[in-house]
Amino acid sequence: MSDEFSIQEIVEIAIEIEKNGVVFYSTLAESADTERLKELFAFLAKEEESHISRFQEILESVGGYQISEIYYATQYMGYMKALADERVFTSDVAAAEIAAQARSPEKAIDIAIAFEKESVIFLHEMWQLVDKCDREAIQKLLDEERDHIRRLSAIKTQMDS
């Protein structure tokens, strides 16, 4: 990223995060040892694909939008870049490797929960940056990511019982 903040860059990062999620969940679905986990991970992969489409729509709508205050924009750009850099997977290869190394269903769910939490944080920050007309779409994505955490946590609780 350059010193000049661009919302397009943030949306593109969000798209990459979701693409990595598709790879991660697809890999987990293929290797899951129960039908319930296969269905859950396949569902989550499909959800991530849906999010990619929504982000691409947002990307088209943001046009040349820039944050106006240079200092604030530079500081916030650095923060958003740090969030993106610290996410669970940094590429589709890393996502597949992490999924393949998840030695147990519990470990896979822990990694998935961490991924979803990081997505929530990233989306929450992104919500503050987009034009008001795009906030509703980001809010829906936030709600879906929170629902993913609830689903994963419920299954993890059942496994621990």
The angle formed by the CA atoms of residues 59, 60 and 63, to the nearest 5 degrees, is: 90
Ranked by mean pLDDT, the top range of 58-67, 72-81, 109-118 is: 109-118
Q: How far does CA 144 lie from the centroid of its chain?
A: 11
pTM: 0.77
Q: How many CB atoms lie within 10 A of CB 124?
A: 14
Residue bearing the bigger pLDDT, 146 or 76? 146
Contact 125, 80 (CB under 8 A): yes
Structure tokens at 124: 């929450």
Q: How far apart are CA 96 and CA 26, in angstroms?
A: 9
Q: pLDDT tens digits for 25-54?
A: 999 999 888 899 999 999 999 999 999 998
Q: pLDDT tens digits for 133-153?
A: 778 888 888 999 999 999 999
Distances (CA, A) of 18 to 87, 101, 147, 159: 11, 20, 16, 26
Q: How many CB atoms lie within 10 A of CB 131?
A: 12
Domain 7-160 - what CATH class?
mainly alpha
